[in-house]
Amino acid sequence: MIWLVYLLIGIGMVFQALGSIALHRFPDVYTRLHGATKCTTFGSIFIYIGIMAYSAMLVLQGQINQVSLLAHTLIVMALVLITNSTGAHAISRAAYRSGIKPGLAVVDELRVAK
């Protein structure tokens, strides 16, 4: 069972690393934000699931106090899912309103909507 925990945390770390590479690789603020947000959210989910699997393993071994770790990790995972996407949307909206245009965009539907 511990190999599953290591696998989940390892996958999460890979996605976190890909998110940091996206910050350097992509050309403009919107694609950087998209790559970093998607990868770090997905990586965080894997890490949190690994933590929950580890705490579930400890609960099954008789350490009943680890239930609180499982519950807290579940709450944190839900909050990260909500706040990552909301924060990315707010940052991209602020960037657009401040005049930063997408680098390689062919159609700008927000400009047309105004």
CA distance 33 to 88: 7
The pTM is what? 0.84
pLDDT of residue 2: 92
Q: Which residues have a Cβ under 8 Å from the Cβ of 87 and sit 6 or more positions away?
A: 37
CA distance 6 to 10: 6
Q: Which of 49, 48, 38 is nearest to 15 (CA)?
A: 38
pLDDT tens, per residue, the chain with 114 residues: 899 999 999 999 999 999 999 888 888 888 899 888 999 999 999 999 999 999 999 999 988 888 999 999 999 999 999 999 999 999 988 998 888 888 776 677 777 655
Query: Quick count: other Cβ atoms within 10 Å of Cβ 12?
Result: 21
pLDDT of residue 16: 94
